[in-house]
A and B are shown apart, each in its own frame.
Chain A
């Protein structure tokens, strides 16, 4: 079975721009979670989607949003980018919220 895939792997943006990251879960998995990882804050939960519905959200500003499609693929969007948004963004999939399997991540650099 193919693992979780994330695109793009690397991204460079400038402050004020917006960005969309994509995640394709493991086939058959219906839950997708997103995490942000920075050197200072470590791994932090952004949100989780199941069957196109957001079930839980972490403590991030409204500039961070996401959605899930009927095929379970998910996207997250960050608007009005700030320097502090530079991070590794990780997507994880699970069958229904149980054991999560992570993708390789998208490295976002904001200049």
Chain B
């Protein structure tokens, strides 16, 4: 079973920051938080991952709480092309399973 909990859907206005929350209260010390997104019927796209420090790349920022029990993915200036299902996954990297366990994700709709 997935070790994360995400809201099933969210709306955001175009041009605003989209903040997607994720709860992972049972995360272990050696587990990373990964974010992917999937635009309708395409392959999932890697966004960002982190262990305990906040991370930023050209796509997004990842904020992890100090106790690591939750995190927030931030898309700073959302566009219509950011409409997708966003998945938060926790995993050990590397681990002995080499698999990603997916939940239902958050369907983010960007509105003009």
Binding site for A on B (CB under 8 A): 34, 36, 41-46, 49, 87, 93-104
Contact = CB atoms under 8 A, between A and B. Distances in A.
Looking at chain A's contact residues, is the secondary structure mostly helix, strand, loop, or mixed? strand
Contact of B98 (A4, A42, A56): A56
A88 B99 CA distance: 17
A100 B41 contact: no
Interface residues of A, number: 27
Given A4-B43, A104-B42, A104-B43, A48 B104 contact: no
Nearest to A34: B99
B101 A100 contact: no
A31 interface: yes
Contacts of A33: 98-100
B102 A42 contact: yes
A105 interface: yes
Contact of B49 (A31, A96, A99): A99
Chain B CB within 10 Å, residue with most, of A4, A42, A43, A102: A43
